[in-house]
Structure formats: structure tokens, C-alpha cells
Structure 1
């Protein structure tokens, strides 16, 4: 992505990168947390004829929805947020950014190695991840950028050790 981004857009881009990395690593060809294959190298073959120039956006939306469903099953829906179910205003900003810059944000050849490197870049420090839901903090944390690094650290540890860890935030925002 080129140019200078507004600080909100930079945060949103980091969230999208987090979602794509976790989404790719969680798919059936990698850790198998969910059974989708939107980030696989062959996905373009079935997305391009249907979505054409919007296939990058379709990849993103597909993998986010697959991850959202599994996170919702493990964490629950209600007064909890997670990286794939954020407050509505954040979700709308992410959606708008993917609508306008989809091709720039979603790499057509996003490999597992690239996904791990993305998580390493986003992570703040090594942590231990346990299997299951992992409380990160209150939903108010979502107003700060630091949650992205904390969550990336948990996912990186989970994928490295082979456990399924689902970071979440409690409360309303």
C-alpha cells in the first residue's frame, strides 16, 4: 500500500492485516480451525468468474465470516467482541476500506509464511496461549491500537504451539 495513511486508516489496515493472517492460518489447509479455503492459492479460480474485479473483497469477506462463526461458537455472542466481531462502527469502517482498497489490501498469493510474518510484525511480545477463549480485557480497549498487538501475540503463540485460542473483549462499547 502506498502513500501516507490517516491514523484511523492505518489502524484499520492493521486490523484487516490481522484478520487476513489469522484467517489464512486458521483455514483447512493450515491449522484447520475452520473449513474454508478463501485464502488458498486456488480460490481465485472459483471467485474470479463470480466476483470479477471484486474477488479480493470476496476473499476477505469469506475468510472473515468463516473465522467469525468459529469465534462466535467458542466465545458466544452478546456482550463480547473479538477480532472478527467488532463494534458496528468499526466493522463499517473496515468494510468501507476493503470496498475502496480491496486489491491493495488483499494479496492474491497470501501464503502461510506471509501470514505468520504478518502476525510477527503485529505482535508486541511473546506470550503463552492456552486453548479456548482468552479474555484480553474490557471492550473499551478497542478504542486503543494496543489491542491489535496483544491479540496478534496470542494468535501467533496459538498457531506456533498448535492450540486454538480465541481472544475476546467483554462489555459494551
Structure 2
């Protein structure tokens, strides 16, 4: 299952979602990936608490990205509906829970994985960063660029929002 762009995209979304939370880099004011949230989510979502965490963080990140980008832009947390569905399906299965548990362990570990995914792409830009057209989002290159931009922004203490436009 290596070099699966959908899995890589899910991995980057999980990592950026976690790293953007209040206890890591504070880009959004959620704490879904903190241990205490499990006690809150487990009784309400006993079999799908990992999906509830994912969607909670994704919605918070989506709002922050939308505020920083033009209407109609696509970004890591607002993708075409078909791709959003594929990501949800990938996460909802047993492998999705394992993927989430594997990559969401600590701030440093998550940042190291994000850096490794985006190793080929380093950016020092803050704010909106254009990556071209949405058609290329399922490519390893586009995913690596996104990961590199986010990793660099987290390391610098800045905020960068890679985005794609309609073809």
C-alpha cells in the first residue's frame, strides 16, 4: 500500500489537523487529539470516535483555511466531493483507525513524518500559496508540496495555506 496517493493525502490531512490544534501550533482552537477528548467522544461514538475526531479537526481547519483563501479555492481541508468521500471511506475502515493511531502520537513525531513526506518541497512563504490546478491533487508531487509547505510553516512559526484552483 505504499505510494498510494489517497493514503498519503489522508496522512497529510491527519498530521496537519493534529499539528494545527491548540496544544501543538494553535492554528485552530480544537483539542480533539488530546487524551481527554477520548473520554468525551467514546460514550457518544463508541465505534467511530476516531472518525469523530477527524471530522471535528477537519471542520475547524476548513474554517481557518476558508477565511484565508478566496472563495472557490480548494485546499487540504476542502476538496472535491468525490475525494472527500474517498478520504472518509479510507478513514472509517479499520486501516483508517490504525493510520490515525500510527501518525498522531506526539508533536515532534508528527512534524517529522510531515517533513519526511514533504522532503522535496521546502517553502518559506506565509499566507496563501498556489499549487496549480485541482486536477493534480492526487499526485505524489502535489501531496509532497503541500506537506513541505505546512511543515516549513510550522517550523518557522508562520501560517501557510496551500491551495488549488479549478481547471
Same fold, TM exceeding 0.5?
A: yes
Q: Alignment length, in residue pairs?
A: 165
Aligned position for 2:152: 157
Asked if 2 retains the 8 angstrom alpha-carbon contact of 1:20 and 1:115, the reply is: no
Equivalent residue for 2:53, pick from 38, 59, 73: 59
Asked if 1 retains the 8 angstrom alpha-carbon contact of 2:121 and 2:144, the reply is: no
Instruction: Give unpaired runs (5+ residues) of structure 2.
Output: none
Aligned position for 2:140: 145
Instruction: Give unpaired runs (5+ residues) of structure 1.
Output: none
Aligned position for 1:93: 86
Asked if 2 retains the 8 angstrom alpha-carbon contact of 1:74 and 1:133, the reply is: yes
Q: 1:16-95 maps to which residues of 2 (within 5 A)? A: 16-78=10-72, 80-95=73-88
State the alpha-carbon separation in 1 of the partners of residues 140 and 6 from structure 2: 10
Deviations 1:89-118 (A, max 9, x none): 111111111122332222186221221122
Asked if 2 retains the 8 angstrom alpha-carbon contact of 1:18 and 1:152, the reply is: yes
| Deviation for aligned residue 1:6 | 8.3
> SS of the counterpart of 1:134?
strand
